[in-house]
């Protein structure tokens, strides 16, 4: 067990480490921006290569289509993901798809492939195509529209993206744009990583799940019939553009699914954020713009901080998978798409909290608060009946966090906002949790 | 045309730049090695992390299975590929598969998946399994045996590797071993890059083509029905182990195919090597061990030097593709596997030389020497009849070296051993070459 113990680490919230990892810039609409020195307007101007942070902030604040007077920008927040030469910004704001310059500055080359699905295409494909091409006649846009749903996150569907890219004769200077939820982002990102051994890509997440989690951090991939996300790549986008107005078309069930990941950030490393959620859950469910914007911003900050410290998941980053080992087993065991990802994660989070409590690592009050907040969000707190103890065990055995045969889990430990990633736990506690949540 | 011209570069041989990029260590069998200070014997000892080159050299010289007196090593040459934290050694020698320690020192974790094919498995799978497990009871070996041939370098066959890996419950600490020629190396490498978003892998090339070219440098991938190697990753192995004795079982046609790439290195950057080949072609075809060993060593040195300077092919590395744009078109246009890769490259190299001569960039004498040496090697010097001008053009349009619609080519320019990678050439010369080599 010594080897396992050495991989255990405490991921308590630490404001000092946060400050080092991420900078968040507020860039509210400001009429004064128009009088600032004019930023570069070259369509491919590499924002990340700008000499100083203050300049970057101004560039964003005065973002505007070329040939027009710069209107006040709608970008309310920029979260930087700090990964050296793979760093990139996350733009968050209402109506960002109405600002062509934001997207265009991150498109290199003349060809774009938008990857989207049958649900999102009728809503936003035209708008995104406009944003990419407005006052920008050099760029041409192709699109590929995939079937919608987790069950299509497979190799056959991925091949449709490659087919379209090859048939369109896209070259290494093209840019792939992921327009949709987590499935589209994961597939488009992996396609971009593998097409011609790597082309640029941009994330435009349109679900809360994708905005607060899957679009940030560069995990891409597809499912294998025997397990979630087993085939993929770490591959970072050029930018993430979150237009919070796209949430207006999101079904309630999808909104709740995203909230499961928001809750996760509070539990693993940000107790004040969890407490804010406990107070503001009704506002989130009612889609109050300011509440949603804050939840997205704080989630992206938390994710960016973790990813900046551990891009390839050698340790800390695994803590973002609280509840996910149980959750992935539910998704795989019930057939991809029967439960939404966040629904499975919610039940998995309760199971992780239950096991943490059985191990004596957290007080009962924390376990109760976990159940309460997920119930408030109208998320499931137990796995579906089809999940047996044996089903959980056999699927969890192929989880990516298994190392040399040992299943490592993210468990809560200590005060609210603290967790560990470890294989050093009493197996009986895992068995007891599985038996407590399964009928057979 | 200005943009294209800016990507043009001269890749003449330069002994000073070589010295900086690569170090080649001779480590001939030496009885004195046994009396040197004992190197670490930990099975996972990271050779690349050793503090000094002198120590590394000694470790290699005295490599031996644990629990046995160290015999004289058969490693005659180690070529280092210098890529910072992704650096790795290429071991070259006769009988290296009889030295378990060489392989075992690069296996991390307890699980190995050997990827091979129906031709190579009966010859070497048992030997490699022995080398991986001899005196090493902690390691268990699985294998997946794919059908043999370029036409199986596709997504369906790749999925068989993932299936085996998932069914065997391999985890992130496993190691994939590519045992075979270029197709196996490319597929196993891409599978290793994508499985669980990246696991370790080792190359054991068993064809001359793979030993002198495809196993070195980290290009991995599969073919798309419309073009070669369009889907893949840059992903470096832990080491490349070249046992030159495996060439004893290689068919003549496969041997000649590998020689096409050997000729390439001379033409693009190493005139003395080309002149050596002109004198020694009969010895190579007769498989004289010392001639083959020198050709492999010098080829690996050339490739390592180029890759160290331009891992992701932003410029210089493209010069390794002399003859390949025409060659890939032949492979795609005639159906993968009808011609061997080196056969297609040989005809493509003659076409590139012809075009270079039409442009006035090389003397006729160089073009003639290109044709002569490839004829001596019994390689084709014209494309197959099925290839029409239109077929060449339509397939070359999806080549990875197209940028913003402009096809860039590697062409010879200047004295022997010099080339350029450029899109700045007279289109008429390309048309004339295609018409000269095609019947319609």
Q: Do B166 and A398 touch (CB under 8 A)?
A: yes
Using an 8 Å CB-CB cutoff, list chain A residues near B169: 397-398, 402
Closest-CA residue of chain A to B139: A404
The pLDDT, as a whole number, for residue B75 is: 76
Residue B23: the pLDDT is 63
Give the C-alpha separation, A70 to A177, whole Å. 25
Check: CB of residue A120 under 8 Å from CB of residue A180.
yes
Contacts of A227 in chain B (CB under 8 A): 166
Between these two residues, B385 and A49, which has the higher pLDDT value?
B385
Average pLDDT of the residues in A323-328: 96
**A212-226, A273-287, B40-54, B387-401: segment of lowest average pLDDT:** B40-54
Q: What's the pLDDT band for A268 if we cut at 50, 70, 90?
A: very high
Select from A162, A173, A226 the Cβ nearest to the Cβ of B403: A173
- CB of A175 within 8 A of CB of A200? yes
The C-alpha atoms of residue B96 and residue A80 are separated, in whole angstroms, by 49
Does the distance separating the beta carbons of B224 and A162 come in below 8 Å? yes
Whether residue B275 lies in the annotated active site: no
Which ranges constitute the DSSP H helices of B287-363?
A: 289-309, 324-333, 341-358
Unique residue bearing structure tokens 């260590």: B25
pLDDT of residue A19: 36
Please tell me if residue A193 touches chain B, with a CB cutoff of 8 Å: yes
CB of B85 within 8 Å of a chain A CB? The answer is no
Tell me the C-alpha distance between A163 and A155, whole Å.
Answer: 12
Residue A61 clears pLDDT 70, i.e. is over it: no
- Which pLDDT score is estimated for B72? 60
d(Cα A304, Cα A212) in Å, to the nearest integer? Answer: 10
Residue with the bigger pLDDT between B345 and B50: it is B345
**Domains, in order of start, for chain A:** 2-12+297-437 (1.20.1090.10), 30-73+82-250 (3.40.50.1970)
The pLDDT of residue B105 is 95
B172 touches chain A (CB under 8 A): yes
> Does the pLDDT of residue A380 top 90, yes or no?
yes
**Does the pLDDT at position B67 exceed 60?**
no
Chain position carrying tokens 């009889």: B98
State the pLDDT at residue A31. Answer: 34
Put simply, the answer to whether A162 touches B312 (Cβ < 8 Å) is: no
Q: Could you tell me where the DSSP H helices lie in A286-404?
A: 289-309, 324-333, 341-358, 364-376, 389-396
Residues of A in contact with B317 (CB under 8 A): none
% of residues, chain B, pLDDT over 70: 83
For chain A, report the end-to-end CA distance as a whole number of angstroms.
Answer: 29
CB contact at 8 A, B265 and B419: no
Specify the residue for token string 């107790």. Answer: A271
Picking from B142, B170, B171 by the largest number of A CB atoms within 10 A of its own CB, the best residue to mutate is: B171
pLDDT band at residue A69, thresholds of 50, 70 and 90?
very low
Token pair listed for B1: 């045309």
A313 is catalytic: yes
Hey, how many other C-beta atoms are within 10 angstroms of the C-beta on B382? 14
**If residue A322 lies in a helix (H) or strand (E), which one and from where to where?**
none
Beta strands per DSSP E along A37-125: 75-81, 88-93, 111-117
Query: Which of A251-265, A394-408, B136-150, B260-274 is predicted least confidently?
Result: A394-408
Q: Residue B321 above 80 pLDDT?
A: yes
Q: Is B201 helix (H, G, I), strand (E, B) or coil?
A: strand
Give ∠ CA B199-B200-B201 in degrees, rounded to 5.
Answer: 120
Asked if B341 is an active-site residue, the reply is: yes
Decide if B159 touches A, using CB distance below 8 A.
yes
B337: pLDDT confidence band, cut at 50, 70 and 90? confident
Please count the other Cβ atoms lying within 10 Å of the Cβ belonging to residue B170: 23
Q: What whole-number distance in Å separates Cα of residue A192 and Cα of residue A237?
A: 9
Inform me whether the pLDDT recorded for A343 exceeds 90.
yes
Determine which one of B56, B153, B264, B317 is catalytic. Answer: B317
Whole-angstrom distance, CA of residue B88 vs CA of residue B81: 5
CA-nearest residue to A3 within chain B is B109
Burial of B251 per CB tally in 10 Å (0-12, 13-18, 19+): exposed
Q: Residue A6: pLDDT above 60?
A: no
Q: Which residues in A lie closer than 8 A to residue B162 (C-beta atoms)?
A: 224, 230-231
Map residue A223 onto helix, strand or coil.
Answer: strand
Enumerate the β-bridge partners of residue A340: none
CB-CB neighbours of A378 under 10 Å: 15
C-alpha torsion angle, residues B305, B309, B310, B315 (rounded to 10): -100
B4 lies within 8 A of chain A by CB: no
Q: Residue A86: is its pLDDT beyond 90?
A: yes
Q: Do the strands A88-93 and A239-243 form a parallel or antiparallel pair, or are they unpaired?
A: parallel
Check CB contact under 8 Å for B405 and A171: yes
Residue A406 has pLDDT above 90, yes or no: no
pLDDT at A404: 75
**Which listed residue (B105, B134, B164, B219) is catalytic?**
B219
CA-based angle A216:A219:A225, to the nearest 5?
135
For residue B25, the model assigns a pLDDT of: 65
Which residue, among A107, A112, A197, A423, would best test binding to B if mutated, counting the most B CBs under 10 Å from its CB? A197
Q: Higher pLDDT residue, B415 or B12?
A: B415
- Binning pLDDT at 50, 70 and 90, where does residue A216 land? very high
For B126-179, what is each residue's pLDDT tens digit? 999 999 999 999 899 999 999 999 999 999 999 999 999 999 999 999 999 999
Q: Are strands B175-180 and B111-117 parallel, antiparallel or unpaired?
A: parallel
* Angle at alpha carbon of residue B376, lines to B372 and B380, rounded to 5°: 80
**Known active-site residue A219:** yes
Q: B198 and A234 in contact by Cβ < 8 A?
A: yes
Q: Shortest CA distance to B92 belongs to which of B298, B308, B306, B307? A: B298
Give B92's strand partners.
Answer: B77, B242
Task: Assess whether A358 carries a catalytic annotation.
Answer: no
Residue B41 has pLDDT above 50, yes or no: no
Residue A25: its pLDDT value, please? 65
Question: What pLDDT score was predicted for residue A387?
Answer: 97
Could you report the per-residue pLDDT of A279-289, keeping only the tens digit for each?
Answer: 999 999 999 99
Q: Is the dihedral of CA B246, B251, B256, B257 positive or negative?
A: negative
């Amino acid at each position: 067990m010594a080897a396992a113990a050495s991989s255990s680490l405490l991921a308590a919230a630490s404001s000092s480490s946060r400050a080092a990892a991420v900078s968040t810039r507020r860039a509210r609409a400001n009429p004064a921006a128009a009088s600032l020195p004019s930023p570069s307007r070259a369509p491919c101007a590499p924002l990340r290569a700008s000499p100083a942070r203050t300049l970057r902030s101004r560039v964003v604040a005065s973002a505007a289509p070329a040939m027009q007077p710069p209107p006040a920008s709608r970008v309310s927040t920029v979260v930087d993901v700090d990964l050296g030469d793979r760093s990139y910004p996350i733009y968050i704001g209402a109506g960002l798809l109405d600002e062509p310059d934001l997207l265009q500055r991150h498109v290199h080359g003349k060809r774009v492939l938008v990857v989207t699905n049958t649900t999102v295409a009728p809503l936003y494909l035209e708008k995104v195509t406009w944003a990419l091409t407005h006052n920008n006649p050099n760029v041409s846009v192709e699109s590929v529209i995939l079937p919608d749903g987790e069950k299509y996150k497979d190799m056959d569907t991925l091949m449709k993206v490659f087919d379209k890219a090859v048939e369109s004769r896209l070259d290494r200077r093209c840019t792939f744009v992921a327009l949709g939820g987590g499935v589209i982002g994961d597939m488009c990102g992996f396609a971009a990583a593998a097409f011609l051994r790597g082309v640029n890509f941009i994330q435009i997440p349109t679900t809360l799940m994708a905005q607060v989690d899957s679009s940030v951090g560069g995990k891409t991939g597809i499912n294998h019939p025997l397990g979630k996300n087993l085939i993929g790549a770490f591959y970072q986008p050029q930018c993430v553009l979150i237009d919070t107005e796209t949430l207006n078309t999101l079904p309630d069930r999808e909104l709740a699914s995203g909230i499961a990941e928001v809750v996760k950030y509070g539990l693993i490393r940000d107790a004040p954020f969890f407490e804010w959620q406990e107070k503001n859950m009704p506002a989130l469910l009612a889609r109050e713009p300011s509440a949603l914007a804050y939840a997205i911003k704080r989630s992206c900050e938390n994710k960016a901080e973790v990813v900046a410290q551990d891009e390839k998941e050698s340790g800390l980053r695994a803590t973002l998978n609280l509840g996910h080992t149980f959750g992935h087993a539910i998704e795989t065991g019930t057939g991809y798409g029967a439960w939404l990802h966040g629904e499975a994660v919610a039940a998995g989070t309760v199971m992780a909290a239950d096991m943490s409590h059985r191990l004596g690592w957290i007080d009962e009050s924390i376990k109760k608060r976990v159940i309460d907040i997920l119930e408030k969000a109208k998320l499931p707190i137990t796995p579906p009946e089809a999940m047996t103890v044996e089903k959980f065990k056999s699927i969890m055995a192929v989880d990516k966090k298994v190392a040399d045969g040992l299943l490592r889990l993210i468990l809560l430990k200590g005060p609210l906002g603290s967790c560990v990633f470890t294989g050093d736990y009493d197996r009986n506690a895992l068995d007891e949790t599985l038996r407590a949540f399964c009928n057979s």
